[in-house]
């Protein structure tokens, strides 16, 4: 397999990604939206963290009635940030996208949030429905902007700046699988003994730049990183163009968590609300058993690589270094 043209989530044809960030004094938060193609995409979810903040996840169970979602909203702002999904819903309703009901449509927009309250100084500076609408308006099918943007604007990871990362793979059989991550973890995305970025071990040759941060400095920052209960979370949207049902999407989301386990240590803790969504657009055929195996394995790989890209793309802030800022 090899990376897609943009090495990101939008390599899955039909998906669009948009970011919006708050501005003004004390603000360091934002929202990211993943838009499904017209008519929606089949979806699944797997929540592993002990402190999740989510919306509309129960309807993604294989036994639930609704089969397709129209967008996934990822947001900062802790539980307050779930309001961003309302802005995405309003835009979808305006555009006629949603579950058909008599005389109207109801857009299906599952959402999950990360904790970033007060990272810019003002705990009241958090995303609203207007932020979700702005992310919707910014959505496009081009390369995914990564780093300290959107829902990753206020993200931290083990004492360093976190953020948005994305990666993709095209299987030998032609299907694409890709992931987008909001890295905001209690655990570290680095090896504290070697300084390596954990997820970079799963990259293609030359995918990740040279240079390693000093492990002693990383260990110091990690030891000083204070994460009270419920103040971290890593979110994933993994997607494919293969035709999967809801059970298949749920399993793909489970495999994304394997990618988190490879690239963040520790993960799924009492302090994290880790959640993975999966989307299947269905423009490629239904995979056979061997193809499903390959697809699931790739989902874990692209998630680990997306975590690495999130860490490496993040910008330093006055109160918190980035991984790149520590490379001599």
Q: What's the confidence (pLDDT) of residue 139?
A: 98
- How many angstroms separate the CA atoms of 205 and 118, rounded? 39
Q: What's the confidence (pLDDT) of residue 226?
A: 74
The segments of the chain whose pLDDT lies below 70 read none
Task: Give, to the nearest 10 degrees, the angle between helix 289-313 and helix 246-263.
Answer: 40
Q: What's the confidence (pLDDT) of residue 133?
A: 98
Residue pair 25/146 in contact (Cβ under 8 Å)? The answer is no
Q: What number of helices (H) and strands (E) belong to the chain?
A: 5, 15
Task: Give, to the nearest 10 degrees, the angle between helix 84-94 and helix 129-138.
Answer: 50
Query: Six-digit token pair at 52?
Result: 């999740």
Q: What's the confidence (pLDDT) of residue 130?
A: 98
H-helix segments, the chain: 84-94, 129-138, 215-224, 246-263, 289-313
Name the pTM for this structure: 0.96
CATH T-level topology, domain 9-326: 3.60.70
Residue pair 304/199 in contact (Cβ under 8 Å)? The answer is yes
Q: What's the confidence (pLDDT) of residue 109?
A: 98
Q: What's the confidence (pLDDT) of residue 227?
A: 74
Q: What's the confidence (pLDDT) of residue 39?
A: 96
Q: What's the confidence (pLDDT) of residue 1?
A: 79
């Amino acid at each position: 397999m090899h990376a897609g043209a943009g090495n990101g989530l939008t390599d899955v044809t039909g998906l669009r990604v948009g970011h919006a960030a708050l501005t003004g004094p004390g603000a360091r938060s934002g929202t990211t939206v993943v838009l499904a193609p017209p008519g929606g995409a089949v979806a699944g979810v797997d929540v592993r963290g002990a402190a999740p903040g989510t919306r509309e996840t129960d309807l993604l169970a294989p036994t639930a009635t609704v089969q397709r979602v129209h967008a996934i909203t990822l947001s900062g702002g802790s539980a307050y940030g779930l309001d961003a999904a309302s802005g995405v819903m309003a835009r979808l309703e305006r555009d006629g996208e949603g579950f058909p009901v008599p005389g109207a449509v109801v857009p299906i927009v599952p959402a999950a949030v990360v904790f970033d309250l007060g990272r810019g100084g003002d705990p009241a500076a958090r995303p609203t429905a207007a932020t979700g609408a702005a992310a919707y308006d910014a959505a496009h099918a081009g390369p995914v902007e990564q780093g300290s943007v959107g829902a990753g604007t206020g993200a931290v990871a083990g004492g360093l700046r976190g953020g948005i990362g994305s990666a993709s793979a095209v299987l030998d059989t032609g299907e694409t699988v890709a992931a987008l991550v909001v890295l905001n973890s209690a655990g570290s995305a680095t090896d504290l003994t070697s300084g390596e970025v954990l997820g970079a071990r799963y990259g293609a040759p030359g995918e990740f730049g040279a240079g390693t941060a000093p492990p002693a400095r990383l260990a110091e920052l990690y030891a000083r990183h204070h994460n009270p209960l419920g103040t971290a979370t890593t979110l994933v949207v993994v997607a494919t163009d293969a035709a999967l049902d809801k059970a298949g999407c749920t399993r793909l989301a489970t495999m994304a968590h394997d990618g988190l386990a490879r690239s963040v240590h520790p993960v799924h803790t009492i302090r994290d609300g880790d959640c993975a969504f999966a989307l299947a657009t269905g423009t490629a055929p239904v995979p056979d058993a061997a193809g499903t195996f390959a697809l699931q394995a790739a989902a874990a790989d692209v998630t680990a690589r997306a975590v690495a890209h999130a860490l490496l793309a993040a910008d330093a802030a006055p109160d918190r270094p980035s991984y790149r800022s520590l490379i001599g």
